[in-house]
Amino acid sequence: MLHNGCMFLANEGCTADIYLILNGSHRGFVHYCDKDSVCDLPPEFDQYCKEYLKRDFAAYYMAYVDKTEDCCRNMSAEKRRRAAWERAQVRDFLAAAELSDWQGARRLLEAMGDSRGLSRKSRSFFHQYESRMMEAFPEDEAVWKFFDGAFGSWNSYGYPNEPLSFQKDGGRWRNPRQSFQAFVQTFYD
């Protein structure tokens, strides 16, 4: 969790991370770090301070909260409907999985149809059950089609549509990650 006097806060995609500075003259400020850059800092340190060290953590966090709330407020009715539908699908599938009703889970996957349009969040949930479903239904075309659509495609950046990652039991990650149970709870919150 700690790396060179900084605490990891978030990944902004690819190699861009956000850290909270824990010591020194900029303690409490937020630091943007892009590992693809030749150098973390712009040529002029003053310019770096003006651009990246101008907000403390509270300001950074509130800007993030405001941005998230604006996104939710401005979401189209269709996107809201789609998000509600996906949450319902995840909850129904989870209920079937908790009862070990794999036939019911299979019917839910088949009823969902084309999985390519699912959000990354929903695909990440279903990814946790992919091997179990493939084990239970090794010859089932509907199951294979669902998981191939969800994970067999490439995104607009030319990378595989990878799911979000969760804390693995006993595993060590450089940065903190939530548990799968905490992730699932977000479909109910």
Region 77-93 average pLDDT: 92
Look at residue 91 and tell me whether its pLDDT is greater than 60: yes
Does the structure show a pLDDT above 50 at 1? no
The model's pLDDT over 10-53, given as tens digits with 9 standing for 90+, comes to: 776 666 777 788 877 777 877 777 665 544 444 455 565 566 66
Backbone φ, ψ for residue 160 (5° rounding): -60, 150
pLDDT band at 135 (very low <50, low <70, confident <90, very high): very high
- Do both 86 and 40 map to the same domain? no
Same domain, yes or no, for 111 and 157?
yes
Domain of residue 21, residue span: 2-73
Measured CA to CA, the distance from residue 164 to residue 183 in angstroms comes to 10
Q: Residue 56: which pLDDT band, with cuts at 50, 70 and 90?
A: confident
Of 19, 49, 73, which residue is a domain's last? Answer: 73
Do 26 and 107 reside in the same domain of the chain? no
What pLDDT does 34 receive?
67
Q: Which of 54-58, 82-86, 156-160, 163-167 has the highest mean pLDDT?
A: 82-86
Q: In angstroms, what CA-CA distances link 16 with 11, 13, 39, 90?
A: 6, 6, 13, 30
Q: Which residues contact 44 (CB under 8 A, 6 or more apart)?
A: none
pLDDT at 55: 65
Adjacent-strand bridge partners of 19: 8, 31
Q: Based on the structure, what is the number of domains in the chain?
A: 2
Return d(Cα 182, Cα 180) in angstroms, integer: 5
- For the segment 130-146, the average pLDDT, to the nearest whole number, is 91
Q: How far apart (Å, rounded) are the C-alpha atoms in residues 187 and 180? A: 12
Q: Answer yes or no: do 110 and 178 share one domain.
A: yes
Domain finish residue from 54, 73, 92: 73
- Among residues 73, 104, 128, the one where a domain terminates is 73
